[in-house]
Structure 1
Amino acid sequence: MPVININRNDFCRLIGHEIPMKTIEERIPMLGVGWEGTEGEEFSIEVFPNRPDMLSVEGLARAFSSFMNIERGLREYKAEPAEEFLIVVQPKVMNVRPFIVSCVVKNVDLSDDLIRSVIQMQEKLHVTHCRKRKKAAIGIYDLEKISFPLTYTTEKRTFKYVPLEEKQEMSLQEILEKLPKGKDYAWILEGMNEYPILLDSRGKTLSFIPILNADENKIDNKTKNLFIEVTGTDEKTVTEVLNIIISTFGDRGAKMHKVKIKYPDTGIIYTPNTSPKMMSLEPKYVNKILGLNLRNYEIIEYLQRMGHDAVEINKENIEVTIPIYRTDIMHAMDIVEDVAIAFGYENFEAVIPNISTIGEENPLEVFASRLRSLMVGHELQEVFTFILTNKKNLFNKMNVKETEIAETANPKTEEYNVVRNWLLPSLIEILERNQHHEYPQNIFEVGDVVILNPYTDTGTETKKRLALAMCHSKTNFAEIKSIVESMMKNLGINNYKIEEAEHKSFVAGRCAKIGIDSIELGVFGEINPVVLENWKLEMPVSTAEIDIDLLQKLI
């Protein structure tokens, strides 16, 4: 999780009160951040992924000020309409990096503190919420050096401009091969024939997205007006990131102006959208979850201490207005959590659970831990992936026929709209995203998959699986077979059978199934070159997937 460094003096200036370091150390962890320590007038905190708005001194000061009852309630950020700021999105960029949002920020006092805060926030957002710039990337420019309208388009690898902190023109391909930022993020653009570019009306390059800005429009401490853009592959993420950024500048007294964006298919939109979200909250739900008996006015006060606005509609309903920077609020339970934080976890009465059983570790988890130890003994690294994915990853890229699986209702993004029914695609995706790291890359995961089962109450059944993947130049069927057999023998199983199998994800003749008696436990082998090509993998891969539930029951 990201750690950020905060200057106490700047922190206190933003709050408008002098706060002793001891008070900050005692109270700030109550907001759900980790205290890392102090050095002189600076302190460090660890920010959890659900609160990207606190990845800057401005965001942290804002949250702390509300929590300490210094300035509570909703903070609104307005952006004035301005027709002269226009971005035209070209059709050919829609299949590459389709989303762009933007804002013009004026009357900025770019002090050393603000520059340091913005750079830190941009870097930490890129690593976390932006998924290393793949889902979103931020560009900040000197407005006075730009001529509108802008064009968001793509250009060939031979296209040239002068990148940031360089003196000579370089082609896009040279930037990816020679410059540090190019090398770090080239993996995002793999497989593309043309790359995203932002140009102004004079044809001058603003940025090679999401790699590196142009040197001509960089900012310095003399800059007063900024142009900010966020591009990405996920519309929700780019919108959230822009809202976090404008709230940062808004807290410094800057004035925001909207940017007009013309899409080739959906028409014109104006960004940023500074309208806060609304959510209905039932007080009885709050009290049921927290085990309290709070009155409506108390719930409202606690919500105001967390930066929300709230009004009583009637005794059964409170309408909550959520600030634009709170990207983590998705369900009423998130609002309840804020009430609990403001109430103070230290104020909850400790109660012994009213149950007569003695807890112990689930036998399946004990067995899974044993398998983890065996995999680590084979020098495999454990990974943890999301149970949510998409059909393209599960079926198309794995070269298998689509089957009926559990799907999510009203998904927030197309990237995560189904529940996985096997683990291997998740491991292959990890390998795809880490091709810029050295080999070998040998990984495993013990994780859940969801299978449709009409005989259960939910129509689904959760199964635990073990999957492993070996990725290096010399991996083959024999290597993965030896690991699977070693696992079985270490578990004391000698009556297993290995037979040749057919599976479209694997090379014909290099695939086998393993089982006990007539019960099939899993499959392993060398990944089909078609699958490797679908995932843009250049190294051979051998994999295995074993049903842990079945295996435990059979031994």
Structure 2
Amino acid sequence: MPVITFKYKDLKDLGIDMEKDELINTLPMMASDIEDYDDEEIKVEFFPNRPDNLSVEGVARSFKGFLGLETGLPKYEIEPSGEKVYVSPELAEIRPYIKFAKIEGVDFTGDKIKYIMDFQENLHWVIGRNRKKVAIGVHNADVISGPYKYIATPKDEPSFLPLESDEEMTPEEILSNHKTGEKYAHLIDKFDKYPLIIDKDNQVLSMPPIINGELTKLKEDTVNIIVDVTGTDEKAVEQSLNIICASFAEVGGKIKSMELEYENETITTPDFTPKVRNVHVDLTNELIGGTNLSSEDIKELLEKARFDANILNEKELEVIIPPYRVDILHEVDIIENITIQYHINAVEAKLPDIVTVASENNWFKGEKVIRELMIGLGFQEVMSLMLTSEMGQYKKMNQKEIDHVQVAKPITISGTMIRTSLLNSLMEFLEDNKHEDLPQKIFEIGDVLYMDDNSFNKTKQVKKLAGMICHSTANFTEIKSTVSSVVSNLGYNMKISDSTNTSFIPGRVADFIGESKNGKITGFFGEIAPEVIKNFELEYPVIAFEIEFKL
């Protein structure tokens, strides 16, 4: 969950003059949670569906509406800057989307540089999937001049001084020898050329999505900035730029548009055109429950949520949505905002009028048998979340990434996808418990999710069993014996074949099929590859298996 930290004084400077205790009691009513606080500052968690609240300026804007201090759609004026950015067609296959804005009259005194950097990083993983979809650069505009260029540069040129570095480096050297470059190299290292943003004198602003140049580093006396947002998802890039610009505008920053020159078109950014959706009075009262709100009541609540609203008739309203509210996808999202402004604690609770008779699912009956079998073989059960990350599921397991279900608004950077295997969860468990005595024998019974174009929701849920053993003499013979025992005790006949599973040592891994009158299972087992063991910072051999049940 993204956490932002700010001082009470910061909120007071933005127009919220409230005692600490009252503030702490009121903030959770705005769909947030108090993480920690002291006499000077407070840490607040916001759900990732509200990235506009990941800055103190955004919090103040929402808070003013909630308290009725300012209501309705915030109005932000955008003037042309006259600045141009030329976009190279070579970037279409590398990192195709970019948006720019210039903001004048900013204030970076005190803690404000730290705040904007935290805001930037929160947006990187809430919207940007750890810079894969979106990367943001904020630059001191007073040390550079346009027109600017977004180009694809060779790996070995030009050399420039990356942020927080003492020596110039080529793009290739940054990916290999710079701490930040090594961390994000996987985003672009497969390409022959790398993205670069330069000014008219060929000075480097940034190498997206990796790192900014030291030249445009923000300082306390910086008053004019340029914001660039690049990425692989045009909508996410546009949303990120709008959120940042609106946040600066809340504290007096003057937003200036910039023109992006492509081969066949010119685009002006940012675009602050509001979205328009309708909301219905009957559905609002039905979903909230226990209310009898009129169209006038709903209009007032919408304005407190910082929307504009026009009453079309007594049953329907037109809602004008600000450009920074990227979470509004459906009418129910608008109703959620109405509920928050109504005060959700004021909604009367009641039991639903539903009567059901339950019975145990057959799979869970079988699961009990599997659990007893594994415990009988000396294994200890592990239960982990279905959420994982591409880093843990694929890269650290030395697996090629396949199509998978992604989380649209991840709460944490470690929960960006639904797992397709159980093995990395077991490896993470061993990593967290490497201080415990050996041998360690663990197993998990759980669900994974595959993409499936033939199903109604385009996904297929599959049941799996995985086991893992770690000790100094763990080997192929031991895991083969374990799997044979599991499969035979479950009533299947096992047939073994060669495997190319890259998480395991070549020649010490096998695939298998199990068949019985009750159905079919498939799976694999073997010795985990040394590079995978190293990725999880383990020091002893690891053997593992995974079984997929065909229900």
TM normalised by structure 2 equals 0.78
2:225 paired with 1:226: yes
Q: Determine the C-alpha separation between the residues in 2 that align with 1:369 and 1:70.
A: 58
State the 1:495 CA deviation: 1.5
The alignment status of 1:498 with 2:500, answered yes or no, reads no
- The one-letter amino acid of 1:230's match is V
In the alignment, the residues of structure 1 paired with residue 400 and residue 178 of structure 2 have an alpha-carbon distance, to the nearest angstrom, of 34
Say if 1:247 and 1:427 are closer, same or farther in 2 by CA, change over 3 A: farther
Distance 2:77 2:482 in 1: 59
Equivalent residue for 1:446?
447
**Within 5 Å, which residues of 2 pair with 1:33-52?**
33-52=32-51
Matched, 1:197 2:196: yes
- Deviations along 1:46-80, whole A, 9 cap, x unmatched? 12211111111111111111111111211132321
Question: Contact (CA 8 Å) 2:311, 2:317: kept in 1 or not?
Answer: yes
> Hey, what does 1:384 align to over in structure 2?
386
2: distance between equivalents of 1:346 and 1:450?
Answer: 39
Change (3 A) 1:93 1:468: farther
C-alpha distance in 2, partners of 1:190/1:469? 34
| Deviation for aligned residue 1:113 | 3.8
1:213 maps onto 2:212 in alignment: yes
The structure-2 alpha-carbon separation of the partners of 1:517 and 1:286, relative to structure 1 and needing over 3 Å to count, comes to same
TM-fit CA distance, 1:319? 0.7
Report the alpha carbon displacement of residue 177 of structure 1 after superposing the two structures with TM. 2.8
Q: 2:149 matched to which residue of 1?
A: 151
Instruction: Report if aligned partners of 1:480, 1:524 keep a CA contact under 8 Å in 2.
Output: no
Match runs of 1:278-317 below 5 Å: 278-291=276-289, 292-317=291-316
Give 1:131 shift. 1.4
Q: What is the Cα deviation at residue 505 of structure 1?
A: 7.8
Q: Which residue of 2 aligns with 1:275?
A: 273
In 2, Cα distance between equivalents of 1:24 and 1:453: 51
1:24 aligns with 2:23: yes
Q: Is the 8 A contact 1:383 1:443 kept in 2?
A: no
Quote the Cα distance in structure 2 between the aligned partners of 1:173 and 1:430.
Answer: 35
Helix, strand or coil for the counterpart of 1:174? helix
Matched, 1:327 2:323: no
Answering whether residue 123 of structure 2 is matched by residue 121 of structure 1, we say no
Cα offset, 1:192, TM superposition: 2.5
Q: Could you tell me how far apart the structure 2 residues matched to 1:196 and 1:425 are?
A: 34
Look up the equivalent residue of 1:311 and give its one-letter code: N
Structure 1 stretches of 5 or more lacking a match? 388-396, 414-421, 432-437, 533-539, 551-555
Task: Say which is worse superposed, 232-241 or 500-509, in terms of deviation.
Answer: 500-509
Q: Distance in 1 between matches of 2:27 and 2:336?
A: 16
**Residue 546 of structure 1, aligned match among 542, 545, 548:** 548
The count of residues paired between Structure 1 and Structure 2 equals 502
Q: 2:514 aligned with 1:514, yes or no?
A: yes
Residues 54/372 of structure 1: CA separation in 2 closer, same or farther (3 Å cut)? farther
CA distance 1:484–1:350, change in 2 (3 Å): farther
Matches within 5 A, 1:93-132: 93-132=91-130
Distance 1:288 1:504, change over 3 A: farther
User: CA distance change for structure 1 residues 243 and 354 in 2, over 3 Å: closer, same or farther?
Assistant: same
Q: Within 2, Cα distance between the matches of 1:460 and 1:480?
A: 35
Q: Is the 8 A contact 1:452 1:460 kept in 2?
A: yes
Residues in 2 aligned to 1:361 and 1:332: alpha-carbon distance in whole angstroms: 36
Letter in 1 for 2:219: D
8 Å CA contact 2:484–2:494 kept in 1: the answer is no
Per the alignment, in what secondary structure is the counterpart of residue 278 of structure 1? strand
The separation in 1 between residues aligned to 2:3 and 2:511, in whole angstroms, is 45
Q: State the alpha-carbon separation in 1 of the partners of residues 16 and 228 from structure 2.
A: 33
Q: 1:146 to 1:468 in 2, by over 3 A?
A: farther
Residue 446 of structure 1 and its aligned partner are, at CA, apart by 1.8
CA displacement 1:309-339 (0-9 Å, x = unmatched): 1111122321111111111111111111111
Distance in 1 (alpha carbons) for counterparts of 2:426 and 2:234? 23
Alpha-carbon deviations, 1:322-361, whole Å to 9, x = none? 1111111111111111111111121111213333447788
Provide closer, same or farther for how the CA distance between residues 70 and 468 of structure 1 changes in structure 2, counting only shifts above 3 A.
farther
User: Contact 2:443 / 2:468 at 8 angstroms: preserved in 1?
Assistant: yes
Letter in 2 for 1:288: E
| Residue type at the aligned position of 1:100 | I
Secondary structure of the 1:147 match is coil
CA distance in 2, matches of 1:247, 1:320: 19
The one-letter code of the counterpart of 1:141 is: H
Contact 1:382 1:443 in 2 (8 A): no
Deviations 1:226-280 (A, max 9, x none): 010011111111111111100110001111111111234x622111111111111
Partner of 1:57: 56
Q: Which runs of 5+ in 2 are unaligned?
A: 390-398, 410-417, 428-433, 435-441, 533-541
| CA RMSD in angstroms, aligned pairs only | 4.5
Whichever residue aligns with residue 348 of structure 1, its letter is V
Question: Partner letter of residue 352 of structure 2?
Answer: P
